[in-house]
C-alpha cells in the first residue's frame, strides 16, 4: 500500500520572551498598539502537518509520499526528509515564495503571540493526485492546507476510488459547510479533536452524533482523556493515552497520532492496536520540543508499548525501521 500525505509544509520559529506580555499592554491605547519584545532565544524547527505526519510514518517503517508545496528555502528540509525515508518527489517548489512560516513568541505565563505566513502553501491547490498511479489499495491523508487544495484532493480521491483520511484540523474554522461535506462524504476515516468536531457539527447544522456516523470510521481525540474510535457511528474502541515521562511540547502530538492511525490502517491491524500505536507515537512527540525531534527504534517502541498497555505489540508483518 502506498501512503500519500497531503497538507502544509512549514518552518516554526519558536521564541521565548522572559517577561509577561500584559506588562507592556496599555488598555487605553489598544487602538494604536505599537510594541516590540526582545526575546531570549529563537529556534527554527521543521514543521507543517504533512512534514510531521510523514516523519512519524517513516519512523514506523513506511516510505510515505508527500504531495504539497514549499518555497525556495526548502532545500535542507527536503534533504532531511529524504534521509528519514520520506519520498519528497511530490513536493512542488515555488521559487518566488518562502516556505510557510509560523512565528511563535511565548511569554512566562505561556501566553502566545503568533503570526503565520502561508507563503508557498497558497499554491498547493495547483497540485494533483491524478496520474500518480494510485489505486483502491492505497491510502491518502488529506490534512490542513489551502482549502481549495483540500477540496481538490478529496474530489480526486473520490474520482479514482482511493480511500482517504479526512483531517480538517486547524483549518476547521476556515472550511465552509460545502467543503466539509465534500471531504466527509467520501472519507474512509474522519479524524479531529473533540473541539473541532463541535465546530464541524455546528457548521453543518447537525449533532456531533450525526457527524460521527457520517464516515465508516471516525476518530475523536480528547486530550488527556484519550481517544475514541467509532465504526458506523458506534463506539468500537476506547483508547487510553500512553504515559508521558515529561510534557515538553504538545505541538505535533496530533500529527504523530494521525501517523499511527494511518500506519495501523495500512497494515490492517485491529482498531484497538491501531489506536494504541497512535497514542504512543503522540507520547514520543510530546516529550521533545519540536515536531520532528523524537526518535525510536523497533525495540524501544515495542518495550514501551508493552509497559504502557500491558500486552505485546503484534509485530508479525510489522517492520519498524531502525533509527539512524
pLDDT digits 0-9 by tens, 89-114 = 999 999 999 999 989 898 888 788 88
Of 251 and 94, the one with more pLDDT: 94
SS3 (DSSP) at 46: strand
Which pLDDT score is estimated for 298?
76
**% of the chain residues with pLDDT over 90:** 77
pLDDT tens-digit readout, 48-79: 999 999 999 999 999 999 999 999 999 999 99
Distance, C-alpha 225 to centroid of its chain:
19
CA distances from 39 to 17, 43, 102, 116 (A): 5, 11, 16, 18
Grid coordinates of 87: 519520498
Which pLDDT score is estimated for 324?
34
DSSP 185: H
Q: Quick check: 319 pLDDT over 70?
A: no
Q: Quick check: 275 pLDDT over 60?
A: yes
DSSP 241: P
Question: E strand or H helix at 307, and its extent?
Answer: helix 298-309
pLDDT tens-digit readout, 183-210: 999 999 999 999 999 999 999 999 999 9
**% of the chain residues with pLDDT over 70:** 97
Q: Quick check: 162 pLDDT over 70?
A: yes
Spatial separation of the C-alpha atoms in residues 101 and 72, rounded to whole Å:
13
The catalytic residues are 255
pTM equals: 0.91
Amino acid at each position: 500500500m502506498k501512503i500519500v500525505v497531503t497538507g502544509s509544509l512549514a518552518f516554526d520559529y519558536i521564541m521565548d520572551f522572559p517577561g509577561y506580555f500584559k506588562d507592556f499592554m496599555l488598555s487605553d491605547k489598544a487602538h494604536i498598539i505599537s510594541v516590540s519584545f526582545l526575546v531570549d532565544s529563537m529556534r527554527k524547527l521543521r514543521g507543517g502537518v504533512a512534514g510531521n505526519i510523514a516523519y512519524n510514518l517513516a519512523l514506523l517503517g513506511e516510505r510515505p509520499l508527500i504531495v504539497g508545496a514549499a518555497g525556495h528555502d526548502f532545500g535542507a528540509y527536503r534533504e532531511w526528509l529524504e534521509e528519514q525515508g520520506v519520498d519528497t518527489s511530490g513536493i512542488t517548489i515555488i521559487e518566488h515564495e518562502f516556505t510557510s512560516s509560523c512565528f511563535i513568541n511565548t511569554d512566562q505565563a505561556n501566553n502566545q503571540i503568533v503570526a503565520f505566513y502561508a507563503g508557498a502553501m497558497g499554491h498547493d491547490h495547483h497540485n494533483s493526485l491524478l496520474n500518480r498511479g494510485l489505486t483502491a489499495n492505497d491510502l491518502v491523508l488529506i490534512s490542513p492546507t489551502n482549502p481549495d487544495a483540500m477540496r481538490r484532493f478529496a474530489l480526486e480521491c473520490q474520482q479514482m476510488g482511493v480511500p482517504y483520511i479526512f483531517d480538517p484540523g486547524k483549518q476547521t474554522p476556515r472550511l465552509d459547510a460545502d467543503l466539509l461535506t465534500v471531504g466527509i462524504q467520501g472519507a474512509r476515516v474522519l479524524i479531529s479533536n473533540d473541539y473541532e468536531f463541535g465546530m464541524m457539527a455546528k457548521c453543518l447544522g447537525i449533532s456531533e452524533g450525526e457527524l460521527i456516523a457520517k464516515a465508516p470510521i471516525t476518530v475523536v481525540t480528547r486530550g488527556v482523556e484519550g481517544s475514541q474510535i467509532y465504526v458506523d457511528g458506534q463506539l468500537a474502541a476506547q483508547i487510553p493515552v500512553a504515559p508521558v515521562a515529561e510534557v515538553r511540547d504538545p505541538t505535533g502530538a496530533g500529527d504523530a497520532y494521525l501517523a499511527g492511525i494511518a500506519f495501523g490502517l495500512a497494515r490492517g491491524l485491529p482498531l484497538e492496536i491501531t489506536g494504541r500505536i497512535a497514542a504512543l507515537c503522540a507520547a514520543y512527540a510530546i516529550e521533545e520540543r519540536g515536531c520532528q525531534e523524537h526518535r525510536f527504534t523497533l525495540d524501544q517502541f515495542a518495550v514501551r508499548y508493552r509497559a504502557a498497555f500491558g500486552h505485546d505489540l503484534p509485530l508479525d508483518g510489522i517492520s519498524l525501521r531502525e533509527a539512524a
